């Protein structure tokens, strides 16, 4: 299937195959590190950094983006970037973090959590859990409203975001006021229609997805991996208001929709945005009309949830 003939015209040049293997992961460690270090952010935002102890008491860095010259308490948004539990944030993630801070009027906490191939499950999960605890325990120092902590993640980041929102009661944490899951990884089921139909889709295909799950959940069987996935996790009694965004030509399309239906059936308020002419990671074309249009929908959801 020639996806370049199917996707939105502005996305054609981004509809490419991306390698996924351990050698590429190691190369990414420095290349993306340089890109994000020198990524320009809007003058409307300032950035600072804190260091937090996470998995096995190892330090990890978290950048905080906030509207410039704002001293008041603001909502907090934990933004967990995607990248197959393997790749560091891309420059467009930095631009999104800045935009969320300005448009939603919040402080965005952007963790550089531990990644594959050196840190399989549960490293990333423990890092994100530690960050949530840190934010919840230090509202005055961080100048955030502890009743307004939201979580957003894309792809593998959405896996971690959903796990936080499913686990907050068990972990004795305050309920997140929102969860935003962008083309989310929520399950390990390779037989769904979108998995089969889009097995050779650009950016993220079936082969890479299967390899990622095997790398991240090292030494675990497919049935064990499935039980650790958000789709199979026990839901809390009070589910945060939820926004789910799917991409049309994405192996993960169907599980995003099904996860939203599961949350709705459990009583959650869920907004599902099925984007058309898109593929996994399409918002890397952050200046395209289709990306801007859908990012505006994210802004609107955040503003409503933060009140």
Q: Residue 23 — pLDDT band, cuts 50, 70, 90?
A: confident
What total of structural domains would you count in the chain? 1
State pLDDT tens for residues 71-106.
899 999 999 999 999 999 998 999 999 999 999 999
Q: Which residue range is the domain that position 278 belongs to?
A: 3-306
State pLDDT tens for residues 131-151.
999 999 999 999 999 999 999
Residues whose CB is less than 8 angstroms from the CB of residue 33 and which lie 6 or more positions away in sequence, other chains included: 88
Decide: 111 and 124 in contact? Cβ < 8 Å. no
Is the pLDDT assigned to residue 209 strictly greater than 90?
Answer: yes
In this structure, of 174-183, 196-205, 219-228, 280-289, the range with the lowest mean pLDDT score is 219-228
State pLDDT tens for residues 263-277.
999 999 999 999 999
Q: Residue 40 — pLDDT band, cuts 50, 70, 90?
A: confident
Q: What is the CATH number of the domain that holds 266?
A: 3.40.50.1820
Is the pLDDT assigned to residue 190 strictly greater than 80?
Answer: yes
Decide: 173 and 133 in contact? Cβ < 8 Å. yes
Cβ neighbours around 219 below 10 Å, total: 8
What pLDDT was estimated at residue 37?
64
Alpha-carbon gap, residue 176 to 132, rounded angstroms: 10
């Amino acid at each position: 299937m020639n996806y370049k003939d199917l996707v939105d015209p502005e996305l054609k040049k981004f509809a490419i195959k991306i390698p996924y293997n351990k050698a590429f992961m190691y190369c990414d460690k420095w290349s993306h590190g340089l890109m994000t270090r020198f990524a320009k952010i809007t003058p409307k935002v300032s950035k600072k950094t804190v260091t937090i102890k996470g998995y096995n008491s190892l330090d990890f860095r978290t950048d905080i983006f906030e509207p410039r010259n704002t001293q008041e308490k603001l909502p907090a948004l934990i933004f967990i970037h995607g990248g197959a539990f393997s790749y560091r944030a891309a420059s467009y993630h930095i631009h999104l973090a800045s935009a969320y801070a300005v448009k939603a009027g919040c402080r965005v906490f952007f963790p550089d959590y531990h990644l594959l191939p050196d840190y399989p499950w549960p490293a990333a999960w423990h890092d994100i859990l530690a960050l949530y605890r840190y934010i919840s325990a230090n509202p005055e120092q961080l100048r955030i409203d502890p009743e307004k902590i939201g979580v957003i993640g894309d792809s593998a980041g959405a896996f971690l975001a959903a796990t936080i929102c499913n686990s907050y009661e068990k972990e004795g944490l305050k309920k997140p006021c929102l969860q935003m899951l962008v083309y989310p990884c929520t399950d390990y089921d390779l037989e769904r229609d979108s998995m089969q139909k889009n097995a050779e889709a650009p950016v993220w295909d079936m082969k890479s997805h299967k390899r990622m799950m095997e790398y991240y959940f090292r030494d675990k069987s497919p049935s064990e991996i499935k039980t650790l996935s958000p789709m199979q996790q026990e839901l809390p009694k009070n589910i945060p208001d939820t926004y789910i965004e799917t991409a049309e030509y994405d192996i993960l399309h169907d599980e995003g929709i099904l996860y939203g239906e599961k949350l709705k059936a459990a009583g959650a308020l869920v907004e599902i945005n099925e984007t058309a002419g898109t593929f996994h990671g399409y918002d890397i074309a952050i200046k395209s009309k289709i990306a801007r249009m859908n990012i505006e929908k994210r802004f609107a959801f955040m503003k409503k949830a933060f009140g």
